[in-house]
Amino acid sequence: MRLTDFKVLTFDCYGTLIDWENGIMAALQPLLVRARSALAGDAVLEAFARHESAQEAETPDMIYSNLLATVHRRLAEEWDVQPDEAENMRFGASVADWPAFSDSPSALAYLKRHYRLVILSNVDRASFAGSNRRLGVEFDAIFTAQDIGSYKPDPANFSYILARLAEQGIAPGEILHTAQSLFHDHAPAKQAGLATAWIDRRHERSGWGATMRPPTHTTYDFRFESLAAMVAAHQAETGL
């Protein structure tokens, strides 16, 4: 299997293109200060992952900015902090402030010359629009949880994107799903019959950070430690 076998790259955004872990940690600082928490960074992210995943399963049609506000409220309760609705809402609106990985804009600009680029993201349209400005590329299609009515890893999200791309004449074998999260993306994408590329942004760290532990034996077809490394592999295949 080669990268040049595919015509479409479907991307997860958060954790893959946008550095959501640093964004989450920055946005949680006011709550952590009030909590006087001694939790280390990964412990905070793991708490976020537990509450985010649970809330997505409980309220699959909730807009992501509202869902984040609810997660913030749940974290405050867990850490015995007096709830602050304005602080909850600021956290919910923080997605647009999360930084892009440094290699994302240039790598996407390169890949855009060789593939159709499609987003499949667990956010709402307004939140993604803020991130898109940081990425500096025009995606050929954008599908969010708001459009679909459920959150990855629900198989419905992959059924939805495959149906929409089939309407454009794109077969599953022409698609490479490109993502960091084994839990949210690779496990359900492989179940849907897609080839996948793991952008292993956490390769220097243990644990799963802001995502839940993936199912045992989750597989993928390519692994790169960055999007820039994926670009380099494509250039090696094509001689560009």
- Given the structure tokens 């709830």, which residue do they identify? 83
| Residues 33, 43: Cα–Cα separation, whole Å | 15
Residue 27's φ and ψ, nearest 5 degrees, are -70, -25
| Residues 11, 178: Cα–Cα separation, whole Å | 5
Catalytic residue chosen out of the listed positions 5, 12, 124, 185: 12
- Given the structure tokens 């919910």, which residue do they identify? 92
Cis peptide leading into residue 30 (ω within 30°): no
Side chain identity, residue 175: I
| Dihedral angle over CA of 176, 179, 184, 188, nearest 10 | 20
42 is catalytic: no
Structure tokens given for 34: 């009030």
Catalytic residues: 12
